[in-house]
């Protein structure tokens, strides 16, 4: 699990929130699978809403240009983000996201390796609404400042706790990675972060060059294209 703070600044968050008041919202059950039907209670921007599509594409572009996100996710493809809203005890019970989803044009298939939630509401403006994720080392509850994002393996059980006051607005998206295996992707991320730190040290040029070679050879071995 990785937290990316301040993916959007305060003015950008405000612009998204204002635009979303003009979007077309619908019951979240419209996209719920057979299992999720019994545990999902929220609202989401309709997939055919042109304003929602424009906002989602703008967010996807931001993600595709963010160095830390790229290092961690190694994205091959990012599904168009979806905006959701929880209020009046809205919640999303314990579930695992679908492994295979339809592509944005509906003509292909998309393998979901990573999930991301971007918080768009100030955490003090609503009660409840924590994103609870089973990390494999215990359950962690995530409730981030507006504009911050949490990235986690789609294979993990997770849920959105009931929002008992106020409203929780967020964007969610899924990523198909060049490296499907979580453990391999995590090793590459740790290696890449070390390489970037070594790059700042003039006396570590040889080590930087060697580790860069190791990184690329591992990526060449593990990547699915």
Q: pLDDT tens digits, residue range 172-188?
A: 999 999 999 999 999 99
Report the pLDDT value the prediction gives residue 160, as an integer from 0 to 100.
Answer: 97
Instruction: Please list the residue range(s) of the chain that carry CATH number 4.10.860.
Output: 182-222
| CA-angle at 173, arms to 184 and 87, nearest 5° | 130
Class of domain 2-177: mainly beta
Model-level pTM?
A: 0.92
CATH class entry, domain 182-222:
few secondary structures
Q: How far apart are CA 72 and CA 110, in angstroms?
A: 19
Question: Does the annotation place 97 within a ligand binding site?
Answer: yes
pLDDT at 31: 73
Q: How many helices (H) and strands (E) does the chain have?
A: 5, 17
| Annotated binding-site residue? 158 | yes
Within the chain, all domains assigned CATH 2.60.120.620 are found at 2-177
Q: What is the mean pLDDT of the chain?
A: 94
Q: Is the pLDDT of residue 78 over 70?
A: yes
Q: Does position 98 have pLDDT exceeding 80, yes or no?
A: yes
Tell whether residue 208 is among the known ligand binding residues.
Answer: no
Going by pLDDT thresholds of 50, 70 and 90, the confidence category of residue 38 is confident
Q: Name which of 46, 130, 134, 140 is nearest 91 in CA terms.
A: 130
Is 129 or 28 the better-scoring residue by pLDDT? 129
Q: Judge whether 95 is annotated as a binding position.
A: yes
Query: If DSSP codes are grouped into helix, strand and coil, which group holds residue 22?
Result: coil
34 pLDDT above the threshold of 80? no
């Amino acid at each position: 699990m990785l937290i990316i703070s301040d993916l959007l600044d305060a003015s950008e968050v405000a612009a998204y929130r204002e635009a979303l008041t003009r979007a077309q919202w619908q019951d979240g059950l419209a996209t719920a699978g057979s299992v999720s039907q019994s545990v999902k209670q929220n609202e989401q921007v309709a997939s055919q809403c042109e304003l929602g599509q424009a906002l989602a594409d703008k967010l996807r572009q931001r993600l595709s240009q963010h160095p830390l996100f790229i290092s961690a996710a190694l994205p091959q493809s990012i599904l168009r983000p979806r905006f959701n809203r929880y209020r009046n005890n809205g919640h999303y019970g314990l579930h695992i996201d679908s492994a295979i989803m339809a592509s944005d044009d509906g003509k292909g298939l998309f393998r979901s390796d990573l999930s991301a939630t971007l918080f768009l509401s100030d955490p003090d403006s609503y009660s409840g609404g924590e994103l609870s994720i089973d990390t494999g080392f215990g359950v962690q509850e995530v409730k981030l400042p507006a504009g911050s994002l949490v990235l986690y393996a789609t294979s993990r059980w997770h849920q959105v706790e009931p929002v008992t006051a106020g409203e929780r607005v967020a964007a969610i998206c899924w990523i198909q990675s060049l490296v499907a295996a979580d453990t391999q992707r995590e090793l590459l991320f740790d290696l890449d972060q070390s390489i970037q730190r070594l790059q700042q040290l003039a006396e570590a040029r040889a080590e930087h060059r060697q580790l860069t070679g190791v990184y690329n050879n591992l990526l060449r071995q593990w990547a699915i294209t």
